[in-house]
Structure 1
Amino acid sequence: MTKVLILTSTKRVEKFSDLSGIPKDWVLIFGENLNTDDAVLQAAGDADFIFADAVREISKTVIDNMSNLKLIHSEGVGYNKIDSQSAKEKNIYVCNNTAANSGAVAEQTILLMLSLQRRLLEGDQLVRSGRQIQAKGSFILDGIAELGSCHVGLVGMGSIAIETAKRLKPFGSQLSYFNRSRKNDAENELGLCYLPLEELCKQCDIISLHLPVTPETTGLINAKLLSLMKPSALLINTARGELVVQNDLVAALSAGQIAGAGLDTLYPEPVMPDNPLLNLPENCHYKLLFSPHIGGTTKQAFEKMHKTVWSNILAVSNGERPINIVNGL
């Protein structure tokens, strides 16, 4: 009997998964509320597949004690919470949904850029408090930049950064990027200019992060790089909160080293009230704009991602090789 352990939202599976193609004799174990390794193993230690939320930890303990396990599939793009090396040692596939939500995240990136430039949150509050004319006059005199006048620096040049560049090009923005390797095709197609990271921070009006979390990228945006940015510059992060040293960003915003930041993700998540970025001085509140890590969570993206998960599970159950393997098997 084939068993699938589902360690993500039951409601999301019900809404976005087409289960009509799943064999009737398969057992689906919904384990959203299994909060410890022991609970997981007790409920589904003999499962053949794990379908996991992208931020759900799948530990070595779980992997080593599930003798039937053949595949661990992330619901999203991220898979850094899965012990991929332990899975590889046991010939268990780890797969993700690479590029499935790239367009959706790119849209969120542009939204944060424009919202900060147009001071959307502050303007909304001033209008609601009856100060529309004062706000308009103040914003005009302070200066409102158009996105097309900006030099945008993309840090990382994967699928999301490429989709972001495609959306920025019609605005007329000057586009540069940093990546550990040059992307000649993207340079030619999108008119991108390669810059070393420090030069990117010095020259660009907007820095937008599009990197995975690795030991090399964790804490990449720190006090040193923030100090190189223009006082008028904006930082956008629709990638992962771990990329930014949050206390350094607090210091940079408080001191006016940069003008603002738009963040779709923080660290750790779920975000708690004591996170330093939630406790900026009152005069800095409008320098920071949050969204609740929804960049890649559109209806279309979830339908596409769930379709891939179940297609890969069915493929492996039939002895076939899945797509989007991320652990080198």
Structure 2
Amino acid sequence: MKILLMTLKKRIERFSDLAAIPESWELVFADFETDTRKLLTIGGDADVIFADAMQPVRKKLIDAMPHLKMIQSEGVGYDWIDIRAAKEKGVFVCNNAAANSKAVAEQAVLLMLAVLRRTVEGDRMVREARQIEAKSNWSLEGIRELWNCHVGIIGMGAIGQETAGRLKGFEAKVSYYSRHRLPEERERELRADYLPLNELLSTCDIISLHLPSNAETKNFINLNRLRLMKKSSVLINTARGEVVDQDDLIIALKEGLIAGAGLDTISPEPVRPDNALLHLPEEISERITFSPHIGGVTEQAFKKMHTFAWTNIRRVDEGKRPENIVNGL
């Protein structure tokens, strides 16, 4: 069994139990190499690709690897993997579903609090010795507490449910919209009620996105939907940048259609210096809190994801069907 690792070697060494990997397995490291010819030179005869969730695994690479049986995403996402090409070749594509749901849920709540409390702006003003100015002005403008907010969750999978569970501790009112409604017992457990999408957008103070990135969800939050939101509301995105139309988000912020945004991810990634979200006037940019797509990259999440990945690779080595298959094989 030969495994082509398209992720950081140092990350594998830190979060994987290498002593538990069979000595007969050969590991070859490509780090973040993206050139197909170089990847084929490094591990073109590999049986498995273990790839960072943001690392492209293209059709040319898949088609050129004669022994390839499985592509394992290091994380939950798999939108950078050509799943159609893999399916055509009979190659399993697997992800780490729900492995980082607790971590991402924490990040969502963090961003809610950071935007409500204007954390980034406040940090800057204290460093500029403007603490009294901030405290005086903000006390007059009003700072809202999370318990006093109605939070709307869009996408009630593992991460959405973990987010709702954490919001119980803040005593926030929680509603959700999802393609598939939860059982009533689970709704009661989470203290979350179902609302149609338009009603959720128009009534909630915070909208938290927990959608996968695919053709159906691309630009899911657009200007029409932003116009439905309250002018005092906040948008939180810990999913993928592609689910928000960023040009429309800029319009919404400039026109005061919403109050602010907390974004763990923007599009495209890696973030480029010319991204329009990074070049807004100061009075607009201060209403956005960014984090560097770290919601799911905690130590605990990586250990859990790596443990699952190596177990899944072992299944393939033993001739068994892997788990968390996402390309319909």
TM-score for the superposition, normalised by structure 1: 0.97
C-alpha displacement at 1:33, in angstroms? 4.4
CA offsets, 1:93-130, max 9 Å, x none? 11111001100000000000001111111111222222
* Number of residue equivalences: 328
SS at match of 1:261: strand
1:34-53 superposed matches below 5 A:
34-53=33-52
SS at match of 1:6: strand
Structure 1: 5+ residue stretches without partners = none
Cα distance in 2, alignment partners of residues 181 and 101 from structure 1: 21
Identity of aligned residues (%): 57
Letter in 1 for 2:102: G
SS at match of 1:171: coil
- The worse-fitting range, judged by mean Cα deviation, of 70-79 and 126-135 is 126-135
| Structure 1 stretches of at least 4 aligned residues deviating more than 3 Å after TM superposition | none
Partner of 2:10: 11
Cα distance in 1, alignment partners of residues 227 and 15 from structure 2: 44
Letter in 2 for 1:221: I
Contact 2:51-2:72 at 8 Å conserved across structures: yes
Cα distance in 2, alignment partners of residues 33 and 135 from structure 1: 43
Query: In the alignment, is residue 83 of structure 1 matched against residue 82 of structure 2?
Result: yes
Partner of 2:121: 122
Q: CA RMSD in A?
A: 1.2
Cα distance in 2, alignment partners of residues 15 and 65 from structure 1: 31
1:1-329 superposed matches below 5 A:
2-184=1-183, 185-329=185-329
Cα distance in 1, alignment partners of residues 88 and 123 from structure 2: 54
Contact 1:100-1:301 at 8 Å conserved across structures: yes
Cα distance in 1, alignment partners of residues 49 and 3 from structure 2: 6
Contact 2:234-2:258 at 8 Å conserved across structures: yes
Cα distance in 2, alignment partners of residues 117 and 268 from structure 1: 26
Letter in 1 for 2:321: R
C-alpha displacement at 1:34, in angstroms? 2.7
Contact 1:254-1:281 at 8 Å conserved across structures: no
Letter in 1 for 2:269: E
Cα distance in 2, alignment partners of residues 126 and 59 from structure 1: 46
C-alpha displacement at 1:317, in angstroms? 0.3
CA offsets, 1:261-315, max 9 Å, x none? 0000010001011111101112112100000000001001001101111111111
C-alpha displacement at 1:39, in angstroms? 1.8
- The worse-fitting range, judged by mean Cα deviation, of 61-70 and 82-91 is 82-91
TM-score for the superposition, normalised by structure 2: 0.97
Letter in 1 for 2:223: A
Structure 2: 5+ residue stretches without partners = none
Distance 1:148 1:7, change over 3 A: same
Contact 1:100-1:305 at 8 Å conserved across structures: yes
Contact 1:162-1:186 at 8 Å conserved across structures: no
Cα distance in 1, alignment partners of residues 263 and 186 from structure 2: 25
- The worse-fitting range, judged by mean Cα deviation, of 190-199 and 144-153 is 190-199
SS at match of 2:262: strand
